[in-house]
Amino acid sequence: MRINRIYCKTTLSEQGEFEPDERVAHYLLNVLRLRERDKVRLFDGSGCDYEATLVAVTRKKAILSIGAAHDVVTESPLHTTLAIAMGKGERMDWAVQKATELGVNCIVPLGTERVELKLAGERLARKLAHWQQVSISACEQCGRSRLVNILQPQSLMAWISDSGAQPNSGSHAGMLMHAEGESFSSFAKPFASPEQATVLVGPEGGFTEAEIAFGRDSGFGIVKLGRRILRNETAPVVGLTLLQSRWGDFREL
């Protein structure tokens, strides 16, 4: 029988009791409809899963008894970053969800010449919290016990300038997606076993020529993903899959 996995913001420890917050309690009691003696797995982002059993239930509260901790080996040996121009509507949610499932470690929402950065203040805070929850839900589903770091939105050129990433230095493979770039196999040849990799994905209409030139001058390889033009939310899935297949945990498949 499948045991549900739940993320908890509180740091967990073995052989203790835990009272989840209202959101988690509602999910356990009213969505999953769990009752006393039902079991779940908890994780706090530290890399472990904790066995837990519901020991007390009221209308709005739940108390869990925490059992043994188990190390979870679901992270790829390749550290990956997705820097993506913010898509409209649910497209960004979809990209965050699928990137999380594919093992991404860091997501950077980007503004570009074709995507204006309009988020600020409370609206920005709500959007970041929403994306983080989308990613957490994906972690719960796919078995990851470490969270994805979702950074504040920033402009493409500012992020490249300030990140100090130094892509294509041997230990870091960085590629900017563009329909007229080189093939992934050609891009990948110089890298034996990089420790990290970055994918830059543009908006509808792609990056401008100035942005492509800036990325190239900053060390990013300009890479195409086949003969067809992919959507903003599809390109991350293909790009991350290629990286994991070449240098990450998809080599085990």
* CATH (domain of 234): 3.40.1280.10
Contact 20, 6 (CB under 8 A): yes
The mean pLDDT of the chain is 89
66 with 84, same domain: the answer is: no
67 with 83, same domain: the answer is: no
88 with 204, same domain: the answer is: yes
How many H helices and E strands in the chain?
A: 7, 12
Those residues whose C-beta lies under 8 Å from the C-beta of residue 147, and which sit 6 or more positions away, are 7, 45, 132, 135, 136, 139
132 with 215, same domain: the answer is: yes
Using DSSP, state whether 230 is helix, strand or coil. coil
63 with 83, same domain: the answer is: no
Domain count, the chain: 2
129 with 35, same domain: the answer is: no
The domain boundary residue, chosen from 71, 95, 125: 71
94 with 25, same domain: the answer is: no
Is the four-CA dihedral 225, 231, 235, 238 of positive or negative sign?
negative
CA nearest neighbour of 101 among 147, 151, 138:
138
Pairing of strands 39-43, 48-57: antiparallel
The DSSP code for 251 is: G
The DSSP code for 83 is: E
pTM, 2 dp: 0.91
- Portion of the chain with pLDDT greater than 90, in percent: 52
Q: Dump pLDDT digits (tens) for 223-240.
A: 998 888 889 999 999 999
Phi-psi region of 211 (alpha: psi -120 to 50; beta: other; left: phi over 0): alpha
Those residues whose C-beta lies under 8 Å from the C-beta of residue 31, and which sit 6 or more positions away, are none
What's the token pair of residue 43?
């994780």
83 with 62, same domain: the answer is: no
For residue 103, give its domain range.
Answer: 79-252
The DSSP code for 86 is: P
Q: At what angle do helices 121-142 and 91-101 cross, to 10 degrees?
A: 40
Contact 153, 111 (CB under 8 A): yes
pLDDT at 15 over 80: no
183 with 152, same domain: the answer is: yes
137 with 243, same domain: the answer is: yes
Q: What's the pLDDT band for 113 if we cut at 50, 70, 90? A: confident
Those residues whose C-beta lies under 8 Å from the C-beta of residue 30, and which sit 6 or more positions away, are none
Q: Dump pLDDT digits (tens) for 135-184.
A: 999 999 999 999 999 999 999 988 988 876 667 777 899 999 998 899 99
26 with 149, same domain: the answer is: no
